[in-house]
């Protein structure tokens, strides 16, 4: 795009991208795209893409479409090694800009046989390159901290933010490590990691409107859980 350089692998496991550089400095390098089956606890990761194509390729914007399947994670003994789910991911970038739109679909499409997927968690993990001296900031008042060996910053929208127009006061939480620092009805659904000369901001556009969702940053990763645990309490419980 000019300031941003992306590398996407056709042969290795699908990790969104192999590396991201901004003005020649590496911000992210690989990660994981996975989900965990709720009934068995089996974990599946995204295979190399079977199809890579340009959905749009113009002078100001480009959209790359990637399609593939999930497979059992290495080292797992799974009775039925087949995975019926696949992914469809679109990466959109703009000329002269450093923002990237990621549209990821966990697809359950089989015209021959009905299949119901029971999923505990599904996530996109980005391995950032800021190290232990980095700081993370969440979209909640007073939730920020340094990412040392055991440090983490997280934001969790575990229920719907409103019921009949009234805010649900414990629908969202944010904190540092094991400690909850903030509780409220909703947040803006973003989390940033920064060092002295680089920064990475992740924003989930459906964070409040389609819970339960969770963002987390530690000294190595930024994790976007687009399917995660609900927060306790009947009021505002999502329909999943």
Q: What is the pLDDT of residues 146-183, one digit of tens each?
A: 998 778 999 999 999 998 889 999 999 999 999 999 99
> For every residue of 79-102, which 3-state class applies, written as one string?
CCCCCCCEEEEEEEEECCCCCEEE
Dist CA 47 CA 69 (whole Å):
6
Mean per-residue pLDDT, 80-101: 89
pLDDT at position 80 is: 61
Mean per-residue pLDDT, 38-62: 94
Mean per-residue pLDDT, 41-64: 95
Mean predicted lDDT score pLDDT of the chain: 91
Mark 174-205 as b/e (b = at least 16 C-beta within 10 Å): bbbeeeebbebbbbebbbbbebeebbbebebe
Of 173, 150, 145, nearest in space to 230 by CA: 173
- Residue-wise pLDDT tens digits, 10-23: 999 999 999 999 99
Torsion of CA 28, 153, 216, 129, to 10 degrees: 10
pLDDT at position 13 is: 93
In contact, 32 and 15? CB cutoff 8 Å: yes
Residue 100: band (very low, low, confident or very high) from pLDDT cuts 50, 70, 90 = very high
Torsion of CA 48, 50, 55, 56, to 10 degrees: 50
pLDDT at position 29 is: 94
Mean per-residue pLDDT, 213-224: 96
In contact, 35 and 119? CB cutoff 8 Å: yes
pLDDT at position 14 is: 96
């Amino acid at each position: 795009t000019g300031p941003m350089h992306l590398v996407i692998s056709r042969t290795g496991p699908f990790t969104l991208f192999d590396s991201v550089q901004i003005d020649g400095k590496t911000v992210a390098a690989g990660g994981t795209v996975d989900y965990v089956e709720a009934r068995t606890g089996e974990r599946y990761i995204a295979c190399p893409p079977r199809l890579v194509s340009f959905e749009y390729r113009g002078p100001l914007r480009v959209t790359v479409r990637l399609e593939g399947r999930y497979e059992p994670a290495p080292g797992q003994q799974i009775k039925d090694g087949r995975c019926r789910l696949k992914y469809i991911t679109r990466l959109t970038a703009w000329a002269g800009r450093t923002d990237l739109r990621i549209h990821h679909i966990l697809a359950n499409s089989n015209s021959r046989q009905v299949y119901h997927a029971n999923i505990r968690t599904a996530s996109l993990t980005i391995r950032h390159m800021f190290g232990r001296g980095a700081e993370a900031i969440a979209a909640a008042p007073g939730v920020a901290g340094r990412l040392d060996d055991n440090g983490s910053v997280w934001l969790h929208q575990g229920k719907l933010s409103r019921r009949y127009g009234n805010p649900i006061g414990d629908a969202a939480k944010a904190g540092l490590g094991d400690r909850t620092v903030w509780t409220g009805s909703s947040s803006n659904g973003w989390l940033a990691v920064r060092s002295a000369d680089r920064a990475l901001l992740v924003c989930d556009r459906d964070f409040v409107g389609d819970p339960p969702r969770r963002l987390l940053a530690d000294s190595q990763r930024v994790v976007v859980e687009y399917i995660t645990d609900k927060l306790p309490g009947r009021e505002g419980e999502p329909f999943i």
